[in-house]
Amino acid sequence: MMHHETDVIQVPGAELRYVRQGTGPLLVLIAGGDGDAAAGAPLAAQLEPHYTVLTYDRRGLSGSTIDDPEQPPTVTTHADDVHHLLTALTTEPALVYGSSIGAMISLELAARHPEQIRLLVAHEPPATQLLPEQDRAQAATAQREVEEIFQKEGAMAALRKFLVLAGIDPADREEDAPMRSPNPERIRNLEFFLTYDAPAVRHHRLDLDALKGTHIVPAVGTNSGQVMAYRCALLLADRLGLPYAEFPGGHNGSVFRPKAFAARLHEVLETPPDQRITTFAQESGD
């Protein structure tokens, strides 16, 4: 029987609910969008034979509460939350996988607390600061449009616009990948994400100098097309002088293709640093 526990931890200004399952080295999954621990559960289930997988609800989502709702979290707040979570649960550096906003949070964690990270796989972080000026302005406009649609037409209309922007194809999925239903909790999470977290990402700037020399693998989806976050990941690899890794599916491949994604993540996490360049450089031909 695999070890599986759910608990809560107090962090400055919030309470975080987390789930820990499996055995082996600690691997933290930081979800994209309005993703909570449940959103990462299918991927975690595939990884738990190899790792102690930690998923959690970001502050403001599902079971994680904020002491003062008038204090909206920033990307840095979320990174500090993961820092406190790791400090409470382990003395060793952890493996980290972050997607989209989760990749931004994990990169901020790497910049602030590099000693806590053994290896970070940063999948399609929307780090628009890396884009050429014109593209950066376009990305900001598109993001604001999503936020405006949310204010006028509600969370589901904004989500539909966001899926188009992120190039997410709901048909690009494994047959048994669970569909996340728009239940009341999901709607609440989406509303929180669109009100606070999406603008926080738009305003965030990564400290690229602090990321040099940290253990990062920028990652992209093979089916992402040239969407903004895909390009940001490649530009991040370029700026940091690192090889990047390709993963199955699109921008949210970890949710739609958990089996293939977990297999690829395991492969990337187990590749020794000196072999990463050759492994990753060859894969575009397969």
- The reported pLDDT for the residue numbered 166 is 85
The class of domain 4-285 in CATH terms is alpha beta
Looking at the DSSP bridge assignments, the partners of residue 52 are 22, 26
Confidence check: pLDDT of 74 > 60: yes
Token readout for 165 is 């922007």
Region of 143 please: left (phi>0), alpha (psi -120 to 50) or beta. alpha
Least confident of 9-13, 68-72, 103-107, 130-134: 68-72
Confidence check: pLDDT of 283 > 70: no
- The reported pLDDT for the residue numbered 69 is 85
Token readout for 75 is 């990307």
In this predicted model, what pLDDT tens digit does every residue of 229-266 receive, in sequence order?
999 999 999 999 999 999 999 999 999 999 999 999 99
Token readout for 93 is 């550096």
CA dist list (Å): 278 to 23, 212, 283: 30, 20, 9
Confidence check: pLDDT of 278 > 80: no
When pLDDT is cut at 50, 70 and 90, the band that residue 282 belongs to is very low
Looking at the DSSP bridge assignments, the partners of residue 28 are 54, 96
Question: What is the Cα–Cα distance from 197 to 202, expressed in whole angstroms?
Answer: 9
- The reported pLDDT for the residue numbered 277 is 67
For residue 38, count CB atoms less than 10 angstroms from its CB and return exposed for 0-12, middle for 13-18, buried for 19 or more: buried
Domain coordinates in residue numbering, the chain = 4-285
Sign for the pseudo-dihedral over CA of 55, 44, 39, 242:
positive
Rg of the chain over Cα atoms, rounded to whole angstroms, equals 17
Average pLDDT value over all residues in the chain:
92
Q: How, if at all, do strands 65-66 and 94-99 pair?
A: unpaired
Helix (H) or strand (E) holding 98: strand 94-99
In this predicted model, what pLDDT tens digit does every residue of 125-166 receive, in sequence order?
999 999 999 999 999 999 999 999 999 999 999 999 988 888
- Asked if residues 153 and 258 have their Cβ atoms less than 8 Å apart, the reply is no
